[in-house]
Amino acid sequence: MFSKACEYAIKASIYVAAQSLEDKRVTLKDIAAEIDSPVAFTAKILQQLVRNDIMQSTMGPTGGFQIEKSLIDTIQLAEIVHTIDGDGIFTRCGLGLKKCNAKKPCPVHDKFSVIRDELREVVGNISLFELASGLYVGLTHIKR
Amino acid sequence: MFSKACEYAIKASIYVAAQSLEDKRVTLKDIAAEIDSPVAFTAKILQQLVRNDIMQSTMGPTGGFQIEKSLIDTIQLAEIVHTIDGDGIFTRCGLGLKKCNAKKPCPVHDKFSVIRDELREVVGNISLFELASGLYVGLTHIKR
DNA sequence: TTTAAATAGGACAAATTTATCCGATAATAA
DNA sequence: TTATTATCGGATAAATTTGTCCTATTTAAA
């Protein structure tokens, strides 16, 4: 469904958000340990998220990553997915055809449109706050 | 969503099915040309489909691929997907967690379960006959 | 001011997926 | 029986994704 990079991005964002709710900044190492991901690879992904204003980073000692508290409930899962994987998953033809649309559809067009729309609707309406609170209260997990 | 190999497999199966409905056997070259896919790569994929009894092949002149006519409406899209990509798309956690289930869910578990179930339901209930007839009557296309 | 702890980012490596090449094998038809 | 036309399948290559390494840069604290 999502690329591995995107999975890491989502998990990292949820963890950073949960910590930010407590005004805690977290280091790259923490994040990688918490979501069970390769450190250096995770660093690249976090950089993308920072460049796209999903989160903020601070260099130097006491540095790390955090998400502006007031924005946590305005960031939707869709923004993270879009930043890392683009919008292919929401728009791409199920059979990979370049020219597939309602007028000249591929054989699975109609049925897959429904699923893609539902996916778009779902990830477009889950906020980072919702995801992070579930983690915070121990209702969900994120590691392995 | 699906791997490229799986996309080729689906398109090839639809084309072969449509031709088989007219009792026409088709060659590898025909298939690759018709679905705009690399010939040799397509050959590998077709071999997998043959080994899994999705279609049949005949060597030698007048040889090629076909699907037993009486079985075309019993083969569901799910079987093709399963043969090439396995069942990961139906079962895998949205965040790639090994131990994600209703008791100890990942943050997106519930919402993604719905989508995966719907996907499973859809591909489990589209028959090759349905897909091939759409192509046959020119309602759908499969190339580019 | 120096040191240490943190992210930034370029270059490179491994793994996986996608794609190609070529000889072997099978089967039809002349 | 031979030539031709197919698929089969192993080896290899290219492309993409995933992952690593190392140095530079920034910044807080001693």
Please give the helix or strand (H or E) that residue B70 lies within, else none.
none
Residue B27, pLDDT score: 98
Closest CA to B42 of B56, B52, B32: B32
Phi, psi (degrees; rounded to nearest 5) at B56? -120, 150
The pLDDT value recorded for residue B68 is 97
pLDDT in tens, A32-54: 999 999 999 999 999 999 999 99
Q: Is the Cβ atom of B3 within 7 Å of strand C at any atom?
A: yes
A100, A119, A143: residue with CB nearest B115: A119
Question: With an 8 Å Cβ cutoff, is B136 touching chain A?
Answer: no
Q: Which residue of B has its CA nearest to A13?
A: B107
Q: Which residues of B touch A98 (CB under 8 A)?
A: 144
Tokens of B74: 């019993």
Q: What is the pLDDT along chain B (144 residues), one digit of tens a residue?
A: 999 999 999 999 999 999 999 999 999 999 999 999 999 999 999 999 999 999 999 999 999 999 999 999 999 999 999 999 999 999 999 999 999 999 999 999 999 999 999 999 999 999 999 999 999 999 999 999
Nucleotide nearest to A43 (CA to C1'): C7
CA distance linking residue B21 with residue B70, whole number of Å:
9
CA distances from A2 to A73, B18, B45 (A): 22, 33, 24
Q: How far apart are CA A19 and CA A7, in angstroms?
A: 19
Q: What's this model's pTM, rounded to 2 decimal places?
A: 0.97
Q: Is the Cα dihedral A46, A47, A48, A50 positive or negative? A: positive
8 Å CB contact of A89 and B142: no
In this complex, the answer to whether residue B29 has its CB under 7 A from any atom of chain C, a nucleic strand, is no
Cα atoms in the 13 Å half-sphere on the side-chain side of A98: 4
Q: Name the DSSP letter for residue B67.
A: -
| Strand blocks (E) in chain A | 56-58, 64-66
* Minimum CA–CA partner of A97 in chain B: B144
- How far is B75 from B115, CA to CA, in rounded Å? 23
Give the residue on A whose Cα is nearest the Cα of B130: A107
Residue A135 φ then ψ, to 5°: -70, -45
Q: How far is A61 from chain B (nearest CA, A)?
A: 31
What is the tens place of the pLDDT at every residue in A109-130?
999 999 999 999 999 999 999 9
C6 closest protein residue (CA to C1'): A60
In angstroms, how far apart are the furthest CA atoms of chain A?
58
Nearest nucleotide (C1') to alpha carbon of A5? D18
DSSP string, B107-137: TTHHHHHHHHHHHHHHHHS-BHHHHHHHHHT
pLDDT at B64: 98
Q: Which chain B residues contact residue A134 at CB under 8 A? A: 107
- Say which DSSP state B87 is in: T
SS3 label, residue A61 = coil
Flag if A122 and B144 touch (Cβ within 8 Å): no
A93 vs A88, B8, B52, B143, CA distance in Å?
Answer: 9, 13, 26, 12
Partner A contacted by B71 (CB < 8 A): no
DSSP letter at B94? Answer: T
**A102 CB near a chain B CB, below 8 Å?**
no
